[in-house]
Amino acid sequence: MKSLLTLALLSLVIQLNAQTLHSDMPYRNIPNHPEVYSEGAIAARMIDGLGFRFYWATEGLTEADLNYKPSDGSRTTIETIQHIFDLTILIRNTALQEISVPPSNIEELDYVMLRQQTLQHLKTTADILRTSPDLSKYPIKFINREMPFWFLINGPISDAIWHCGQIASFRRTTGNPIRSDISFFTGTVKN
């Protein structure tokens, strides 16, 4: 009886911790749109859209989902998430006006940490860009060169959106589709 009670209590603690971690993650819903159109607001909205898509593409993935690989020459779902994480470091570092260097410890991060940090990178980026009047002040900085902000749009941002679609497709194939009550048009969870 005592071990059963301990097991039930442990299960409750794990569920509460998971709910706390879940509620701390941004982009369950997309933030309200700004009233005024500006360079920064538009760029931030693109990032918010990416964050919302990533949140729901990666919400509730199972071990089978994470290990799914459509063919020998492709990435698994977890490798795709690692790639998106890497892209969001570049995106965030551009907003922070820092030089981007690929992370060396990406394999050390588990699914939950990758997901949480990816979403936080996107939120940090959107928060910075939302009030920025001039995106030309945000070049992509590499060790030996810089590229204009334009390349962030057609490069890492677009690439990450593309990969969110792949994850959505992969999880559908494994029998774990994204919830049907998500509106990607409005960026909300339907009631």
d(CA 32, CA 29): 9
Which residue blocks in the chain are alpha helix, DSSP H? 2-24, 39-58, 63-67, 77-96, 111-129, 150-152, 158-173
| The pLDDT of residue 107 | 86
Describe the crossing of helices 2-24 and 111-129 by its angle, rounded to 10 degrees.
Answer: 30
pLDDT digits (tens, 9 = 90+) for 68-80: 999 999 999 999 9
For the cut 80, the answer to whether the pLDDT of residue 188 exceeds it is yes
What is the three-state SS of 30-75? Answer: CCCCCCCCCHHHHHHHHHHHHHHHHHHHHCCCCHHHHHCCCCCCCC
The closest of 150, 183, 149, 191 to 56, measured between CA atoms, is: 183
Q: What kind of architecture, by CATH, is found in domain 2-189? A: Up-down Bundle (1.20)
For the cut 50, the answer to whether the pLDDT of residue 1 exceeds it is yes
| The pLDDT of residue 191 | 75
Residues paired with residue 182 on neighbouring β-strands, in sequence order: 189
For the cut 90, the answer to whether the pLDDT of residue 39 exceeds it is yes
| 156: three-class secondary structure by DSSP | helix
Average pLDDT over residues 56-61: 98
Dihedral, 49, 53, 102, 147 alpha carbons, nearest 10: -30
